[in-house]
């Protein structure tokens, strides 16, 4: 008898204000959402999700009525929503944390990341025409010739005890928690998002090393400013010296480092059969 292929995942049930769009496993929903928003095919409330079984990948198009300097708040909101959502579906002993600017960790190893892009064009009120936030996490163990422990800085939710996690349920949970946090943000502002992000931030109030194109930055991680820049007290500096490390520069740096990491390429590779 011919081998039966796994059925494609069922469509998730999304909150009423969201419109779901299935994307093939080989395509990144974030890239599709950005190009679609630029072309006017997607607008506020469109949620793109991947049918991949090896990865959880979603992207949400938003049109918040805020100036460009505040749009990065959505990046941190997406991270907070993602850990709240996934935390309800995995064993409670799994510690979900963040590494600034946009890395997601499970028990100290990278499990995924968040992404963010906003329109350079503004409306009549000075707000970007659109912005896109994306979340991606590795569900399945890394395949190929990788041996357990060979890439200790990378992990999957399956490796951390969530082998039975259903991707469709994860997309549904992400959608619900994104809407909940968006409502909180609209009513209470960025404060609750800020506090919850710092609560899970690795290195907060401790010594950190930040990769930088001009050389690693070392110092004490004091927090974030209103634009999402990391507040750093450089090592050997006067106690009152605080540097705002720019978010956009380090998001670009994260993208560059990701593109050069061969192990991460395996981690990001879709292994659906």
Question: Model-level pTM?
Answer: 0.93
Whole-number pLDDT of residue 1: 41
Q: How confident is the model at residue 120 (pLDDT cuts 50, 70, 90)?
A: very high
Q: Choose among 252, 188, 247: nearest CA to 69.
A: 247
pLDDT above 50 (res 270): yes
Which of helix, strand or coil describes residue 265?
helix
Sheet holding 109-118, edge to edge: 19-23, 46-50, 55-62, 131-138, 109-118, 103-106, 96-99
Write the DSSP symbol of residue 74.
H
Region 28-53: mean pLDDT is 97
Report percent pLDDT > 70 for the chain.
94
Taking each helix axis from N to C terminus, what angle separates 73-87 and 167-188, rounded to the nearest 10 degrees? Answer: 130
Q: Within a 10 A sphere around the Cβ of 190, how many other Cβ atoms?
A: 20
For residue 165, give Cα distances in angstroms to 36, 80, 110, 157.
Answer: 30, 19, 18, 8
Q: Tokens for 19, please give them.
A: 């419109």
Q: Tokens for 85, please give them.
A: 């959502």
pLDDT above 90 (res 88): yes
State how far the Cα of 60 lies from the Cα of 14, in Å rounded to an integer.
12
Tell me the pLDDT of the chain averaged across its residues: 92
Residue positions counted in the chain: 273
Residue owning tokens 């028990």: 107
Q: Tokens for 143, please give them.
A: 């395949």
Q: Choose among 97, 99, 231: nearest CA to 220.
A: 231
Whole-number pLDDT of residue 262: 79
Q: How confident is the model at residue 10 (pLDDT cuts 50, 70, 90)?
A: confident
Contact present, 36 and 153 (Cβ < 8 Å): no
Whole-number pLDDT of residue 75: 98
State how far the Cα of 42 lies from the Cα of 129, in Å rounded to an integer.
11
Q: How confident is the model at residue 237 (pLDDT cuts 50, 70, 90)?
A: confident
**Element holding 132 (H helix, E strand):** strand 131-138
Which of helix, strand or coil describes residue 98?
strand
pLDDT above 60 (res 5): no
Region 28-45: mean pLDDT is 98
Q: What is the pLDDT of residues 191-216, one digit of tens each?
A: 999 999 999 999 999 999 998 888 99
Region 26-40: mean pLDDT is 97
State how far the Cα of 156 lies from the Cα of 143, in Å rounded to an integer.
11
State how far the Cα of 17 lies from the Cα of 186, in Å rounded to an integer.
15
pLDDT above 60 (res 2): no
248 Cβ neighbours under 8 A, 6+ residues apart: 72
CA 3 to centroid of chain Cα atoms:
36
CA 84 to centroid of chain Cα atoms:
12
């Amino acid at each position: 008898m011919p081998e039966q292929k796994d059925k494609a995942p069922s469509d998730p049930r999304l909150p009423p204000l969201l419109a779901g769009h299935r994307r093939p496993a080989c395509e990144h929903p974030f890239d599709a959402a950005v190009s679609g928003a630029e072309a006017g095919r997607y607008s506020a409330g469109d949620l793109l999700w991947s049918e991949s079984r090896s990865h959880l990948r979603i992207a949400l198009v938003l049109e918040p009525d805020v100036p460009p300097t505040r749009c990065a708040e959505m990046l941190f909101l997406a991270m907070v929503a993602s850990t709240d959502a996934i935390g309800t579906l995995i064993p409670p002993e799994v510690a979900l944390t963040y590494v600034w600017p946009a890395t997601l960790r499970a028990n100290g190893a990278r499990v995924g990341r968040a992404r963010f892009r906003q329109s350079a064009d503004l409306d009549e009120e000075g707000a970007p025409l659109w912005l896109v936030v994306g979340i991606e996490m590795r569900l399945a163990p890394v395949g190929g010739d990788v041996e357990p422990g060979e890439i200790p800085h990378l992990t999957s939710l399956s490796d951390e005890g969530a082998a039975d996690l259903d991707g469709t349920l994860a997309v549904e949970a992400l959608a619900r928690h994104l809407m909940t946090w968006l409502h909180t943000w609209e009513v209470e502002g960025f404060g609750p998002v800020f506090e919850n992000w710092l609560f899970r931030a690795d290195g907060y109030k401790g010594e950190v090393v930040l990769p930088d194109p001009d050389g690693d930055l070392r110092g004490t991680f004091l927090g974030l400013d209103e634009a999402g820049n990391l507040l750093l007290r450089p090592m050997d500096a006067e106690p009152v010296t605080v540097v705002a490390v720019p978010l956009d520069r380090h998001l670009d740096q994260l993208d560059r480092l990701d593109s050069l990491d061969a192990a991460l390429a395996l981690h990001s590779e879709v292994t659906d059969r």
